[in-house]
Amino acid sequence: MALGLPVVWNDRHRLHEPGGEIWLGIRTPGTEVPTRADAIREALAGAGARLVDAEAHPDEAVLAVHSPGLVDFLSGAWAAWEAAGLPDDPGQDRVVPYVFPLPGVTSGRPAFEPAATWARTGFYAYDTMTLVGPGTWEAARAAADAALTAADLVLAGAPAAYACCRPPGHHVTRDCYGGSCYLNSAAIAAQWLCDRRGGPVAVLDLDAHHGNGTQELFYDRPDVLTGSVHVDPGAGWFPHFLGFADETGAGAGEGANLNLPLAPGSGDDVWLAAVARLIRAVRKHGADLLVVPLGVDAAGSDPQSPLQVSKAGFREAGRLLGALGLPTVLVQEGGYDLAAIGGLVRATLEGFEEGIEEARA
């Protein structure tokens, strides 16, 4: 049977060509490449999915989640880099960070944006691997539009919609970007849903890496439940500093963040039990809308994570989520095995539709 849920697509993702990653000071090939989204599109089109073009949404939707400083920096970073002559001298064709204003540098006093173009990046970027090129901003902004378009489809009555977002977004906080992400499209969609429905929203992150940006954005919010199943950062995995089980929310948001870190090597049984636990938390929280940052890098074949989830595991996770019966926006995050990524997303979405049918029966 053809995939019924709408697939929101955005051609402008191709404008972001990461051009590599600075890994331990060495420029290595980029992993978050344009062919990822093209592979997903091909697999979903092959499953008979209806493709919907992303529609432009106002900047206010982005600014409801991210600081004006981050948006201003990212939207002008490439132009400033070029104007400073940095592509010629020293010959760096991507915006990269250099110094970082860590809290210990200023004894906790707030840092300020430095004067030098080459120093400004470190005020916003928290890793060296997330490079900005000529089309990065336009692509990231268009990915946010794709997630917002999917949210609109759900607000208009679709049981679910999938946004083929690229670049991904779940590592971006209010002020800082990293982890191959520039704007947190899933969080932007969640906030958009909150603003229009008023009701509690749940964000369940299946990407193999902890959704640290989304966690931080909603950490003190009781109305947005954030949950994430991911490889244990305590075992040495990105984002390293966040994603531990004792991060449960703060203030009024205490109890509205759930991290389920898994040991490297975890497979379907352990991962699906964690997904089921996240779903129980959504039921308990009482959210009436769901956003799923859907990375498929937990797959056994993925080069960027040590989790060992199978395609059948992703299908089952989709089924469990669909059976929740909540209007759902699925947003693409990671997934780096180019040969597998399309089939993994397709299996998850097919499982999701099976789950919807079960919930109705």
Q: Which is nearer to Zn ion, 293 or 343 (CB)?
A: 293
Applying CB under 6 A, which part among 178-186, 247-255, 275-283, 353-361 lies near ligand SP5? 178-186
Beta carbons of 231 and 208 less than 8 angstroms apart: yes
Q: Which residue is nearest to ligand SP5 (CB)?
A: 334
Q: Which is nearer to Zn ion, 81 or 238 (CB)?
A: 238
Beta carbons of 227 and 278 less than 8 angstroms apart: yes
- Count other Cβ atoms within 10 Å, centred on residue 91: 7
Site map for ligand SP5, 200-239, x if CB under 6 A?
Answer: -------x-x----------------------------x-
Given 171, 210, 230, 285, which residue is catalytic?
A: 171
Partner whose binding site includes residue 315, from Zn ion, ligand SP5, none (CB under 5 to 8 Å by kind): none
Beta carbons of 180 and 28 less than 8 angstroms apart: no
3-state DSSP assignment of residue 227: strand
Q: DSSP code of 235?
A: G
User: Is residue 306 a contact point for ligand SP5 (CB under 6 A)?
Assistant: no
Applying CB under 6 A, which part among 78-86, 179-187, 259-267, 281-289 lies near ligand SP5? 179-187
When binding is defined by CB under 6 A, the residue of 97, 227, 334, 351 that contacts ligand SP5 is 334
User: Is residue 271 a contact point for ligand SP5 (CB under 6 A)?
Assistant: no
* CA gap 311, 309 in Å, rounded: 7
Is 171 considered catalytic here?
yes
Beta carbons of 243 and 210 less than 8 angstroms apart: yes
Judged by the rule CB under 5 A, the positions of this chain that interact with Zn ion are 207-209, 295, 297, 334
Binding-site size, ligand SP5 (CB under 6 A): 17
When binding is defined by CB under 6 A, the residue of 6, 261, 295, 313 that contacts ligand SP5 is 295
Q: Which is nearer to ligand SP5, 86 or 172 (CB)?
A: 172
Site for ligand SP5 in 14-53 (CB under 6 A): 21, 23, 28
User: Is residue 179 a contact point for ligand SP5 (CB under 6 A)?
Assistant: yes
User: Is residue 297 a contact point for ligand SP5 (CB under 6 A)?
Assistant: yes
Beta carbons of 181 and 207 less than 8 angstroms apart: no
Beta carbons of 113 and 99 less than 8 angstroms apart: no
Alpha helix positions (H), 170-324: 185-197, 212-217, 268-285, 311-322
What is the side-by-side strand order in the sheet with 289-294?
51-53, 7-9, 160-163, 328-332, 289-294, 201-205, 224-231, 257-262
When binding is defined by CB under 6 A, the residue of 18, 122, 134, 168 that contacts ligand SP5 is 168
* Surface-to-core class of residue 305, CB atoms within 10 Å of its CB (0-12 exposed, 13-18 middle, 19+ buried): buried
Closest by CA to 209, choosing from 173, 243, 234, 177, is: 243
Instruction: Catalog residues that contact ligand SP5 under the rule CB under 6 A.
Output: 21, 23, 28, 129, 168, 171, 179-181, 207, 209, 238, 295, 297, 304, 333-334
Catalytic residues: 171
